[in-house]
Homo-oligomer: A and B are copies of this chain.
């Protein structure tokens, strides 16, 4: 693995890392239904609004979402919607894992 390939895998990991947080993942799923302003997330997520802002900033930095300021509010939307397609496979992993756990008990 040379330096360029290394950089590539670091970039790929960064994208996945941006998604790899419960709150961020949930927000991405919500954005799958349409754009949302920060304030909408603040209303429903039980963490400090500054934390939400930082989560969104991480998603933006990763290139997953884009933002647009309209008046006082900032709206976020998915920039690359294919990330939504990860969900079904992630669920498959969880189910497979749940089965493995169940097999240990039984």
A100 within 8 A of B: yes
Stretch from A3-11, A31-39, A69-77 contacting the other chain: A3-11
State whether A94 touches B20 (Cβ < 8 A). no
Does more than half of chain A's interface fall in helix, strand or loop, or is it mixed?
Answer: helix
Size class of the contact patch on chain A = 35 or more
A15 within 8 A of B: yes
28 sampled A-B residue pairs with Cβ under 8 A: A1-B45, A1-B46, A6-B22, A9-B23, A9-B25, A10-B22, A11-B94, A12-B90, A12-B91, A12-B94, A13-B22, A13-B24, A13-B25, A14-B20, A16-B19, A16-B25, A16-B86, A16-B90, A17-B21, A63-B93, A63-B94, A63-B96, A63-B97, A64-B93, A82-B88, A82-B89, A83-B93, A85-B85
Q: Which residues of A contact B (CB under 8 A)?
A: 1, 6, 9-17, 19-26, 44-46, 62-64, 79-80, 82-83, 85-94, 96-97, 100
